[in-house]
C-alpha cells in the first residue's frame, strides 16, 4: 500500500503567489542574527510598541480579566457585541460619517477587515488602485481574489497622489481605490480627500480607507476621513483598529464601517470563517473605547516627543534626510545620500551594528532610497539604536 509520504502535496493554484510578508523579512533576519551572534539587536523594524510605557491601559487589561471571570467565554453574535458596535458607530459618526449599528462589523484586527473587504468585493479581472509605497497584505488578497493591483505612486515630499496620474489609472475595470491615512510606511496624511471622493463617485469606485493611525496624529488639524466627504458614506469602507489607538496589538480586534448591505455580506463571510471575535476581547475593546481617553492623548504626546527626537537625530546624520511625519509611529528617512540602496542599508546596519530597520523597497519600488523605523521604543533603546546608526554611517 502506498504511504502518504510519497504523495506530492496538491496545493491550490491560488497559493502560487504565497510568500511570507516582505516587510517582515527584516524581523526574521534580526531574530536569526540575534540567535546566531548572541548579540542583542535594537528593533526599529517592528510595527509594534515596545517597552512598559506603551502597554495597554490598566482598565483595558482589567476589563479582559473581568470578562473571563464573568464567563464571557462562549460564542457571541457574528458582527460584534451590540454595545461595542454602537460605540464604534459613535466614533465613526464623530469623524463625520453618520453611522448606525448595522453599518459596523467588529473584526479580528484591521487586517481582517481589509481581507474581508477585498475578498467580498474583488472579482477576477477587477483592478484595484493601490498606493506605492503601500501595505503589502492588501496586495496579497487582491491577487488571491484574482484582481489586478494597479500601482499609484505617492509623490514626495508629502507623499500625496498625483491626481492627474491617478485619473489616468482609472479604467472600466477599476473597482476599488485603497488609501491609508496617516500612511504607512511614511506617516504622512493623505491630502485632496474631496478630489479623491469626486473621482470615486464619478467612476463608482469604492474607497477602502485604512485609518489605523487615526488617533496618532500630530498636526493641529487632526485626522480627516474620506468617508465624511459628501456622497462617500456608502462609497467607502472605513477600517480602523484597537491595535494602535489603545496599544492592543496582541488582542487582535479592529472594525470597519460601510453600507448595511456590504456589512451584512461581510458578516456572512465572518460567520463562516472566524465566527466572531472572542467575547472577552470585545469587552476589553468596549472598555477601551468607552472608558477614560486621557491616556490616548498622553501616548500621542509621548510619541510626539520620540518622533521629534528621532527626526532631529536622523537629520543630523551624513547622507540622511528625515521629515517629520504627520502621524503614526514611523519615520521614513531618505538614505540616498549614503550611497547605499535601502536593502544594503538595512543589511549593513543589522549585520555590522546590531540595529534593525526595514528597507523601504519592501513596501513597493517607490519606497526605494528610504528605510522605515518605528520609534515606539523605550527612550534608552531609541537613543542607543540611533547611536548605532550614526556610528554605522561614520564607519563607512
Ligand X SMILES: Cc1ncc(COP(=O)(O)O)c(C=O)c1O
- Residues of this chain that bind ligand X (CB under 6 A): 47, 109-111, 135, 180, 184, 210, 212, 241, 243, 249, 254
Q: What are phi and psi of 283, to 5 degrees?
A: -65, -35
Nearer to ligand X, 210 or 340 (CB): 210
Nearer to ligand X, 47 or 79 (CB): 47
Nearer to ligand X, 174 or 180 (CB): 180
Measured from each CB, the residue nearest to ligand X is 109
The residue count of the chain comes to 396
Instruction: Cell numbers for 317, please give them.
Output: 546624520
Nearer to ligand X, 109 or 392 (CB): 109
Q: Shortest Cβ distance from residue 135 to ligand X (Å)? A: 4
How crowded is the C-beta side of 34, counted as CA atoms within 13 Å? Answer: 12
Q: Shortest Cβ distance from residue 172 to ligand X (Å)? A: 28
Q: Shortest Cβ distance from residue 79 to ligand X (Å)? A: 17
Nearer to ligand X, 21 or 82 (CB): 21
84 alpha-carbon distance from chain centroid: 22
Give the integer Cα–Cα distance in Å for 72 and 280: 6
Residue 70, sorted as left (phi over 0), alpha (psi -120 to 50) or beta, turns out to be: alpha
Give the integer Cα–Cα distance in Å for 354 and 347: 10
Nearer to ligand X, 109 or 147 (CB): 109
* Cis status, amide bond into 211, omega within 30 of 0: no
Q: Shortest Cβ distance from residue 7 to ligand X (Å)? A: 36
Q: Shortest Cβ distance from residue 142 to ligand X (Å)? A: 14
Residue 159 CB partners (closer than 8 Å, separation 6+): 183, 186, 188
Which long-range CB contacts under 8 A does 199-203 form with residues at least 24 apart?
A: 199/163, 199/166, 199/167, 199/170, 200/226, 200/232, 200/235, 200/236, 201/231, 201/232, 201/235, 203/170, 203/174
Q: Shortest Cβ distance from residue 157 to ligand X (Å)? A: 20
Instruction: Cell numbers for 128, please give them.
Output: 484595484
Q: Shortest Cβ distance from residue 224 to ligand X (Å)? A: 17
Give the integer Cα–Cα distance in Å for 236 and 97: 10
Nearer to ligand X, 24 or 348 (CB): 24
Amino acid at each position: 500500500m502506498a504511504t502518504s509520504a510519497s504523495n506530492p502535496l496538491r496545493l491550490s493554484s491560488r497559493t502560487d503567489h504565497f510568500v511570507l510578508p516582505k516587510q517582515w523579512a527584516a524581523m526574521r533576519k534580526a531574530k536569526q542574527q540575534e540567535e546566531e551572534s548572541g548579540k542583542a539587536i535594537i528593533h526599529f523594524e517592528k510595527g509594534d510598541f515596545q517597552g512598559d510605557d506603551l502597554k495597554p491601559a490598566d482598565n483595558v487589561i482589567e476589563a479582559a480579566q473581568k470578562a473571563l471571570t464573568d464567563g464571557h467565554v462562549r460564542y457571541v453574535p457574528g458582527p460584534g457585541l451590540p454595545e461595542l458596535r454602537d460605540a464604534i458607530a459613535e466614533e465613526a459618526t464623530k469623524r463625520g460619517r453618520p453611522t448606525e449599528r448595522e453599518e459596523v462589523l467588529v473584526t479580528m484586527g484591521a487586517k481582517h477587515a481589509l481581507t474581508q473587504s477585498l475578498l467580498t468585493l474583488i472579482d477576477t479581472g477587477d483592478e484595484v488602485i493601490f498606493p506605492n509605497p503601500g501595505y503589502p497584505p492588501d496586495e496579497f488578497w487582491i491577487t488571491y481574489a484574482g484582481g489586478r493591483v494597479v500601482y499609484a505612486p505617492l509623490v514626495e515630499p508629502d507623499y500625496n497622489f498625483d491626481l492627474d496620474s491617478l485619473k489616468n489609472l482609472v479604467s472600466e475595470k477599476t473597482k476599488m481605490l485603497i488609501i491609508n491615512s496617516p500612511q504607512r510606511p511614511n506617516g504622512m496624511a493623505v491630502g485632496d480627500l474631496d478630489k479623491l471622493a469626486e473621482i470615486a463617485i464619478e467612476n463608482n469606485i469604492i474607497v477602502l480607507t485604512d485609518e489605523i493611525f487615526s488617533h496618532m496624529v500630530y498636526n493641529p488639524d487632526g485626522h480627516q476621513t474620506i468617508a465624511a466627504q459628501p456622497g462617500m458614506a456608502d462609497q467607502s469602507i472605513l477600517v480602523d483598529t484597537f491595535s494602535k489607538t489603545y496599544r492592543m496589538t496582541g488582542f487582535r480586534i479592529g472594525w470597519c464601517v460601510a453600507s448595511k448591505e456590504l456589512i451584512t455580506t461581510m458578516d456572512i463571510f465572518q460567520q463562516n470563517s472566524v465566527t466572531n471575535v472572542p467575547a472577552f476581547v470585545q469587552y476589553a475593546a468596549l472598555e477601551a473605547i468607552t472608558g477614560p481617553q486621557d491616556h490616548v492623548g498622553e501616548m500621542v504626546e509621548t510619541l510626539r516627543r520620540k518622533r521629534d527626537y528621532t527626526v532631529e537625530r536622523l537629520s543630523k546624520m551624513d547622507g540622511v534626510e528625515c521629515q517629520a511625519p504627520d502621524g503614526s509611529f514611523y519615520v521614513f528617512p531618505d538614505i540616498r545620500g549614503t550611497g547605499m540602496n535601502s536593502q544594503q542599508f538595512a543589511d549593513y546596519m543589522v549585520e555590522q551594528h546590531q540595529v534593525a530597520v526595514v528597507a523601504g523597497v519592501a513596501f513597493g519600488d517607490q519606497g526605494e532610497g528610504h528605510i522605515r523605523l518605528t520609534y515606539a521604543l523605550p527612550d534608552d533603546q531609541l537613543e542607543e539604536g540611533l547611536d548605532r546608526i550614526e556610528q554605522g554611517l561614520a564607519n563607512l
